[in-house]
Structure 1
Amino acid sequence: MRNNRRSRFDDDDASLTFEKFFDEEHEDDTTANDGPEHGDRWSTWDLSSPTERGPLPHPDWLITELAAVDVERGILKTGKEADVFLLSREVPGTDRGCLLAAKRYRSHDHRLFHRDAGYLEGRRVKESRTNRAMASRSAFGKEAIAATWAGAEFGALCRLWETALQLEIEPFTPYPVQILGTEILQEFIGTPDGVAAPRLAAVRADVKELEDLWEQLLLALRVLARSGYAHGDLSAYNILVHEGRLVVIDLPQIVDVVANPQGRRFMERDVLNVATWFTAKGLTGIDAPQITRDLMAETGQQ
């Protein structure tokens, strides 16, 4: 797809927020005989097995019709291990459609993320050959690691969504739509015209709004801990704020606090990162060490 108005940026540039407008006309690819008449590809919904789809019940807004097509709308953001694209899933000839964020992990030859050793502790797959390849970082092992990142993120999104609903708490993560290989489709957090919600780092909030966001974040951390997780890379740059709702994103580094021997260290770092940011914005009374102790108790660890 040609899109002359898209912008790219790296996650490490904290001065930028990501947003995308798509008022230009989409150009269809008519070279593929088996492709749809409109759109870039047929919906991939039926290519994912039931276990590779999001938790039931599926949201009302989600398009699951097999006649639907996926339309590329441009890039939302670039990252070290994956890029995120804006995707429109539409039913041709109707007004039914939804926006999705398509996170696509790069092949091992193009990935920039190399600090994975600590995160991978405690993660294993069933085949011993694959585990050995991952440990040796062979070409096959690196491909398996990419699949592990995607699978870990999708699995965590599903579990956190289900845990929040069980606790009768509004989910604080995007709804995980489906996973297909190393592509994760999830709920797009933003406006109907395709403008992504700002990251917390870019939000200007008064004291009352900061207090509300902090309480939401503490609740999110408790749900993470209750599920046995630490985010692993939590900061103001992978938290979105949409219409007052706090949404945690980017979970490929999700850490099993029990299985990973460095679990507590990751938990401490997550808490310190966000506590430092809120304190710098003027919020007082935050006791990061005590919060960490409380969260570890939630996981059953001390």
Structure 2
Amino acid sequence: MRDNDSFGTSAPLNRRRRKFDDDDPTFVKRFSPSTDPVWDEVEEETGWSSWSAPGVQHGPAPIPDWVITEHAAKDTDRGVLKTGKEADVHLVERGIPDTDRRVLLAAKRYRSSEHRLFHRDSGYLEGRRVRESRVTRAMAGRTAFGREAIAGQWAQAEFGALAQLWELGVSVPYPVQLLGTEVMLEFIGDADGTAAPRLAQTRPDQDLLADLWWQLVDGLRVLARAGVAHGDLSPYNTLVHGGRLVIIDLPQIVDVVINPKGPDFLARDVANMAKWFTGKGFTVDPEPLIVELLHDAGMRV
């Protein structure tokens, strides 16, 4: 057996975990209200719009008027809005050259298999079914192909959830399109590229605080009646724009009935949000709402 010294002296390993934007409660998205975006300082990439790319899926009809569907459109990547453990969100401008027709979109790009850190697959994926046994085995074994399949499942799940909830009237970004592991969404923010703040970053007065809570309750009721829960709801994945509360980050949406942990996820969603609102001075008891939502989802309480 070789002595360890025979390999020479190596520098100590840096075991510090990489920090992502969604780990930081003080994180402000790239273009905060206090900082105007300077586009010429961002390295931009421009190409033809992916709206008509082979295999692309489009959002639910009727498609909003602001969505650009023309073949002549081009997409310009304006930079990163947010980094995360599973995906990065880029700001994309889609416009028609030599016209004033343009729109800002949020492109959520799930990580490649070698860079992804899916840390919560098992609990959320319970109850989901994949028809091909080969894919199921690969996902269970976390092979490179399996991790790629999981990424596709997360993207498909988020796109499908957004489409379903949009049609039900829940306040979520409109899902413009899905292509591979990229979900293109309505950008929630201002025309200059200033992203809407997360709820955790806001300091609403008591009237707005109460209004935001009841907006949230209305949305949770619709989710429950559809038999689902967000699964990871917190003040860090809800946005506030123009007094409107918008729910985001839905790849882990949970079927409350089929998933054996579904009721626990629903209860945690409510408890997380109730704690934040109570801490801001709007006292909320989560238990009655949890019971109501489970009943709406068809669960015996």
Matched, 1:208 2:207: yes
Distance 1:12 1:258 in 2: 30
1:181 and 1:103, CA in 2 relative to 1: closer, same or farther beyond 3 A? same
Maintained 8 Å contact 2:83/2:89:
yes
Residue 27 of structure 1: how far off its partner (Å): 8.5
Any stretches of 5+ residues in structure 1 without a counterpart? 1-7, 30-38, 165-170
1:255-294 pair list within 5 angstroms: 255-284=254-283, 286-294=284-292
Residue 40 of structure 1: how far off its partner (Å): 1.4
Q: List per-residue Cα deviations over 1:136-167 (Å, max 9, x = no partner).
A: 21111111001111010000000000111xxx
Maintained 8 Å contact 2:37/2:194:
no
Maintained 8 Å contact 2:59/2:176:
yes
1:48 and 1:189, CA in 2 relative to 1: closer, same or farther beyond 3 A? farther
Match of 1:23 in 2: 38
Deviates more, 1:196-205 or 1:109-118: 109-118
Match of 1:44 in 2: 50
Distance 2:153 2:145 in 1: 12
Residue 228 of structure 1: how far off its partner (Å): 1.5
Match of 1:57 in 2: 62
Distance 1:64 1:26 in 2: 28
Q: List per-residue Cα deviations over 1:44-68 (Å, max 9, x = no partner).
A: 1112657x21111111111110110
Residue 287 of structure 1: how far off its partner (Å): 2.3
Amino acid in structure 2 at the alignment position of 1:12: D
CA root-mean-square deviation: 1.7
Q: List per-residue Cα deviations over 1:226-281 (Å, max 9, x = no partner).
A: 22211111000000000100000011111111121110010010000000110111
Maintained 8 Å contact 2:233/2:273:
yes
Q: List per-residue Cα deviations over 1:148-190 (Å, max 9, x = no partner).
A: 11010000000000111xxxxxx41000000000000000000
Maintained 8 Å contact 2:20/2:85:
no
Match of 2:171 in 1: 172
Maintained 8 Å contact 1:159/1:227:
no
1:26 and 1:95, CA in 2 relative to 1: closer, same or farther beyond 3 A? farther
Matched, 1:107 2:112: yes
Query: What percent identity do the matched residue pairs reach?
Result: 60
Q: List per-residue Cα deviations over 1:2-26 (Å, max 9, x = no partner).
A: xxxxxx9521100122132543338
Deviates more, 1:16-25 or 1:59-68: 16-25
Residue 224 of structure 1: how far off its partner (Å): 1.2
Distance 2:54 2:177 in 1: 7
Maintained 8 Å contact 2:43/2:78:
no
Equivalent residue pairs, number: 278
Select 1:297's aligned residue among 282, 291, 295: 295
Match of 1:35 in 2: none
Select 1:14's aligned residue among 25, 41, 63: 25
Distance 2:118 2:145 in 1: 17
Q: List per-residue Cα deviations over 1:57-106 (Å, max 9, x = no partner).
A: 11111111011000010100001100000000000010001000000000
Residue 113 of structure 1: how far off its partner (Å): 2.7
Matched, 1:68 2:73: yes
Q: List per-residue Cα deviations over 1:108-132 (Å, max 9, x = no partner).
A: 2111231211001011222111111
Distance 1:145 1:9 in 2: 21
TM-score (norm 2): 0.88
Distance 2:117 2:132 in 1: 26
1:12 and 1:256, CA in 2 relative to 1: closer, same or farther beyond 3 A? same
Match of 2:127 in 1: 122
